[in-house]
Chains A and B, each alone.
Chain A
Amino acid sequence: MNASDHRSGRKSWASAFDIRLVIAALLAVFGVIILLMGLFGTSQADIDRAGGTNLNTWTGAGLLVAAAVFAVWARLRPVPVADDDANHDDVV
């Protein structure tokens, strides 16, 4: 089977779907919910269990930063809308 030959002329579907944005979206939603839990829904007992750290606040904030990194990456180096031989190997 000539595996990749027949598709060189095909429009890259990837332009419609960037996994980095999906990851950013999920991490952002998780981040917001967990951060809010950390600010309003974490009891002193919870904080004591984790040795004085409010895990929710830190994790939520960390998730939001990670989400931002993915969003910026996707923004700076978008998936090439390639329908030709412009196969940029450098990015997604």
Chain B
Amino acid sequence: MTVLADASLRLDAGFTDYALIAIYFIFVLGIGLMARYSVSDSLDFFLSGRSLPAWVTGLAFISANLGAIEIVGMSANGAQYGMPTMHYFWVGAVPAMLFLGVVMMPFYYGSKVRSVPEFMLKRFSAPAHLVNAITFAVAQVLIAGINLYLLATLINVLLGWPIPISVVAAAVVVLCYITLGGLSAAIYNEVLQFFVIVAALFPLTVVALQRVGGWDGLVSRVEQEASPAQTGAWPGTELAGFDSSVLSVIGIVFGLGFVLSFGYWTTNFVEVQRAMASKSMSAARRTPIIGAFPKMFIPFLVVIPGMIAAVLVPELAEYKRTESAEAGVDYNDALLLLIRDLVPNGMLGLAISGLLASFMAGMAANVSSFNTVFSYDIWQRYIVKDRQDSYYLLVGRVVTVVATVIAVGTAFIAASYANLMDYLQQLFSFFNAPLFATFILGMFWKRMTPTAGWVGLVSGTLAAVTVFVMSETGVVELPGQGTAFVAAGAAFAVDIVVSVAVTTVTAPKPARELVGLVYGLTPRDSFHDPRDEGQSWYQRPGLMAGITLVLVIALNIIFA
């Protein structure tokens, strides 16, 4: 993502706006303090004591992802590509979230592992565990730095604070509430953030739609000024970067919808951790399913304003016509420009709070999942074993501080090498595709061996990196999102082939060690949780997932 541009975006925040922002930050820190009283052991700190209700973890599940990239990036995509951007939500998120809740969560929650890498350890062996834990930890702490930097540029653009001061101020706030309240503080703040961001974006979208002449007005203006292809979600050739409609649909369904999104949503511990924090099996399974509901409708508050900005804001409309830097703005500024042009003081404070909240939540999610994996999976497993629980709780707090300091360092590096940041983000997204292949094989194929676990993972990742490097150096030419789709697809295929090949020549784990981890070896009633008795119909994960799936298909048809 490029850096937000210059002073033309400076919003005229007045006293009331600053007051609202200050009140919001008092609440954020207050939640950290309140959550502090709930932390009495390491499980409280790292997994909220597995005590949270499903609607809280479900909203946190999507809020953790509703950060800078989502809000700014998806409104930018909306401005540039129009309705096909919806695929990132309807095809690229919802199905994978439902799959996580229905199929995979019983293994994650039922096996009582405390992290995704720990599942690798139980299902496979130490090498697979180490590979996963270390790549995850490194990726998270660097991404935390990138999120911190994006947050600082936002503060800089909106309020005019210098970048270094913004970086440190934002880091201190996140540090305070996570060190105090651990995952609970992060999750509760994510829930609060969700409502603040909706409260900010909903009125903005309504008024913007009104200004542009309603939905029909928007459609006719986009058709006139851009192209009719931008007012319907399918086939999305511009987005996928393929000329052929058929290839485009295949690319979106398999590349984005299957490999990329299943990899991200089902194996990324930042997300899965939120479900692991819930209080029962049913609540854990419902976490991503409940999250899928708002996930379906968030694009209306993010993508649509982006589309409106591209026809309503003169500078952005000019940029879309000419694509030249002379317009002084680019697509990433879409939402901010719309806020600048429509929102009065008062409401402005709410909008800025919402944006700051969402950017901060991204970083907090990275830090809270990093400290869990580092403390449990690296420190406790391999470095200092068999200490008292209070020791690991302390480690978690210290690691939070260290991670934040590293993130500040990364933020400063990102400030000088904007391209590096783009590369890193893309590279990390490739770690997930082979991970999903390994998980899905490991969960359903009891024969798969521990050696195959880590060899498949490493070769899949190398395949993705190879495609990425070849594309960056121009050996192969892939347009638009093509590189990401192909790299992820290659990683997935290579991982499967290598895993199967290695399995045939190495020894599997004995079946009794795989109970609760592999589908065929796990009796169905071991997923039964006595705490879930007497549920209403709307608390049954399978039924809710079905309803969600029907809704998302309906949305695809309505807005095709």
Binding site for B on A (CB under 8 A): 1-4, 7, 12-14, 16-17, 19, 22-23, 25-27, 29-30, 33-34, 37-38, 41-43, 46-47, 49-51, 53, 55-56, 58-60, 62-63, 66, 85, 87, 89-92
Contact = CB atoms under 8 A, between A and B. Distances in A.
Contacts of B345: 37, 41-42, 46
A91 B54 CA distance: 9
Contact of B27 (A22, A33, A58, A63): A22
Contact of B191 (A23, A51, A56): A23
11 contacts: A4-B50, A25-B27, A26-B24, A34-B20, A34-B346, A41-B346, A46-B345, A50-B342, A60-B346, A87-B531, A90-B535
B27 A53 contact: no
Interface of B: 16, 19-20, 23-24, 27, 30-31, 34-35, 37-38, 43, 47, 49-51, 53-56, 112, 114, 188, 191-192, 195-196, 199, 202-203, 207, 210-211, 279-280, 282-283, 341-347, 349-350, 531-532, 534-536, 539
Given A33-B346, A56-B344, 15 more contacts: A1-B114, A22-B27, A22-B30, A26-B24, A30-B23, A33-B19, A33-B349, A34-B350, A55-B203, A55-B347, A66-B195, A87-B531, A89-B280, A89-B539, A90-B539
A60 B347 CA distance: 8
B346 A37 contact: yes
Contacts of B54: 89
Contact of B531 (A53, A60, A89): A89
Which one of B27, B35, B203 has the highest number of Cβ atoms from chain A below 10 Å of its Cβ? B203
Given A3-B43, A51-B207, A23 B192 contact: yes
A26 B27 contact: yes
Contacts, number: 136
Contacts of B346: 33-34, 37-38, 41-42, 56, 60
A17 B38 contact: yes
A15 to B, nearest CB: 11
Contacts of B49: 7
Given A33-B19, A56-B347, A89-B531, A13 B37 contact: yes
B23 A29 contact: yes
Contacts of B16: 33, 37, 41
A87 B529 CA distance: 11
A75 to B, nearest CB: 17
A63 B192 contact: no
Given A33-B19, A34-B346, A42-B346, A3 B535 contact: no
A28 B436 CA distance: 43
A3 B350 contact: no
Q: Which 4 A-B pairs give the minimum distances between C-beta atoms?
A: A37-B346, A46-B344, A51-B211, A87-B531
Contacts of A92: 53, 55-56
Contacts of B202: 62
A30 B199 contact: yes
Given A3-B50, A41-B345, A89-B539, A30 B350 contact: yes
B196 A26 contact: yes
Nearest to A52: B210
Given A3-B112, A59-B199, A49 B344 contact: yes
Contacts of A17: 34-35, 37-38
B217 to A, nearest CB: 11
B105 to A, nearest CB: 15
B344 A42 contact: yes
Nearest to B344: A46
Nearest to B536: A90
A50 B536 contact: no
Contacts of A91: 53
Contacts of A26: 23-24, 27, 192, 196
B535 A19 contact: no
Contacts of A50: 207, 211, 342-344
A17 B112 CA distance: 26
Nearest to A43: B344
A90 B534 CA distance: 9
Contacts of B47: 3
A27 B211 contact: no
Contacts of B34: 17, 22
Given A30-B20, A37-B345, A92-B53, A19 B112 contact: no
B37 A16 contact: yes
Q: Which of B43, B188, B196, B207 has the most C-beta atoms of chain A within 10 angstroms of its own C-beta? A: B207
Nearest to A49: B342
A42 B207 CA distance: 16
B482 to A, nearest CB: 40
B199 A63 contact: yes
A53 B211 CA distance: 10
B470 to A, nearest CB: 43
Contacts of A51: 207, 210-211
A53 B188 contact: no
Interface centre among A4, A19, A43 (most CB of B within 10 A): A19
A64 to B, nearest CB: 11
A92 B49 CA distance: 15
Contacts of A37: 16, 344-347
B343 A55 contact: yes
A34 B196 CA distance: 13
A30 B203 CA distance: 14
Contact of B341 (A1, A33, A49): A49
A59 B353 CA distance: 14
Contacts of A55: 203, 207, 342-344, 347
Given A33-B20, A49-B342, A59-B347, A87 B203 contact: no
A23 to B, nearest CB: 6
B342 A13 contact: no
Contacts of B50: 3-4, 7
A59 B50 CA distance: 36
